[in-house]
Chains A and B, each alone.
Chain A
């Protein structure tokens, strides 16, 4: 609890978190203005998908930076080493710090989307379940990339390394992952499509997008080809849970195995 309290006070007085939230709020409002021409009964879904498609560019990179710099500052300020020489070890420190990061990022983010819902009510017919799926998608995306950021902050020794690693991770999930899958696509058959599916949904952006779009009824899985049926061998929610578990555990383990206790700068 004291980590959450400390993290909250620091971020409340700092600029990073507020700047990130301002970007998200600005995008949300501008998408809302652009969507006023949409129909009253169906526009809600179109707006949320458009909003998600815009936020997906910002939330991962912002969360990577918030997570990474938050850990790195503990090294730079030597507070990490002071804590490690007492009760905490790196595992317990990272666990508490990660929970604190989730809380301080998600609390204002969820508060903003609660306020945003009020604006939407004036323009569209609201689907509560659909909005919940949207908010959950954004929250889970933030959690995965915060944890990856914490991992980057754990093993990097300088701010430049953090910038490089965060941009690489962002670039990988946006472009490279898909390019790699495209290159193996001609060899995908009914026999190996399950592996292709696993690789595809290993990308958090794809797992979250599928969860959101099926949750909103954009996709229907009623009449699929055998190949597509084999590709979607479980529910999108399970793909997302699996993806979340995989990246949280992998990021946590990499952070523990390769962490450095002090930063150079």
Chain B
């Protein structure tokens, strides 16, 4: 589903991604883990085609990621970290704008079903500047879910959210059985709760583990293999 081969990225003399190879299979929920500055954002930007690969290849759902083709974009939906959307528009208007920007025409019934799935239908007519951080994050998820992409790339979806808001986000993510998800996270508990795999980025090198393997490898109380 996501295939990265021999990916190298560097800024000047600093090597950020050093010969990264990873395959993320369909329906996996893979956490992207690494210390601050480890290169998680660089990796995500490479996957999204925002940062052209210096060396190596990336393919999404079998389509190569490059500037010439747009086919791979259909398979992914991305939710950045600390996004705000349009604060002066209502939740519904935000959804409608993204639906029209991406598909030209908004499907009203689909907007309703997606907003209901993230439990924001009742608040749809409130300007989102009045939303709590958790509600805003759920709206962001709704925007990505509307796109019906097979792969979701979520950059710290629970960052800065209170415990109740986090539980609500995780509930939504758990319910997405038909998606392949790559999410960057610093929270071990949420990795344990919802992820099947971990892509660990350390000093430019990436290693893929099952969650149990990762916990064991890091001496964090899991069962190793």
Complex partner residue of A82 from B70, B83, B93, CB under 8 angstroms: B83
- B86 & A85 in contact (Cβ 8 Å cutoff): no
Tell me whether A9 and B89 are in contact in the complex, defined as CB-CB below 8 angstroms, given that A77-B84, A81-B50, A85-B78 are known contacts: yes
Q: Is B22 an interface residue (CB 8 A)?
A: no
A5 to B98, CA, bound (A): 12
**A-B contacts, CB under 8 A, total:** 65
Query: Please, which residues of chain A bring their CB within 8 A of the CB of B82?
Result: 78
A86 to B73, CA, bound (A): 6
A84 to B98, CA, bound (A): 12
- B48 & A85 in contact (Cβ 8 Å cutoff): yes
Q: Name B44-91 residues within 8 Å CB distance of A.
A: 48-50, 70, 73, 76-89
Q: Is A34 an interface residue (CB 8 A)?
A: no
Q: Is B17 an interface residue (CB 8 A)?
A: no
- A10 & B88 in contact (Cβ 8 Å cutoff): yes
A123 to B68, CA, bound (A): 61
- A88 & B93 in contact (Cβ 8 Å cutoff): no
A87 to B88, CA, bound (A): 24
Q: Is A206 an interface residue (CB 8 A)?
A: no
Count of B interface residues, CB-CB < 8 Å: 29
- A2 & B127 in contact (Cβ 8 Å cutoff): no
A226 to B190, CA, bound (A): 81
Query: Please, which residues of chain B bring their CB within 8 A of the CB of A6?
Result: 86, 89, 93, 97
Q: Is B147 an interface residue (CB 8 A)?
A: yes
Query: Please, which residues of chain B bring their CB within 8 A of the CB of A9?
Result: 88-89, 93
- A87 & B70 in contact (Cβ 8 Å cutoff): yes
Q: 15 pairs across A/B with beta carbons < 8 Å?
A: A6-B86, A6-B89, A9-B93, A10-B86, A10-B89, A13-B127, A14-B88, A79-B85, A81-B50, A82-B79, A82-B80, A84-B50, A85-B49, A85-B50, A85-B73
Q: Which 8 A-B pairs have the closest CB atoms?
A: A78-B83, A2-B100, A77-B84, A78-B80, A13-B88, A85-B78, A6-B97, A86-B102
- A79 & B83 in contact (Cβ 8 Å cutoff): yes
A78 to B143, CA, bound (A): 13
- B101 & A3 in contact (Cβ 8 Å cutoff): yes
- A77 & B50 in contact (Cβ 8 Å cutoff): no
- A87 & B50 in contact (Cβ 8 Å cutoff): no
Q: Report B67 CB to chain A, min CB distance, Å.
A: 8
- B143 & A82 in contact (Cβ 8 Å cutoff): yes
Query: Please, which residues of chain B bring their CB within 8 A of the CB of A83?
Result: 98, 101-102
The closest CB in chain A to the CB of B47 belongs to A85
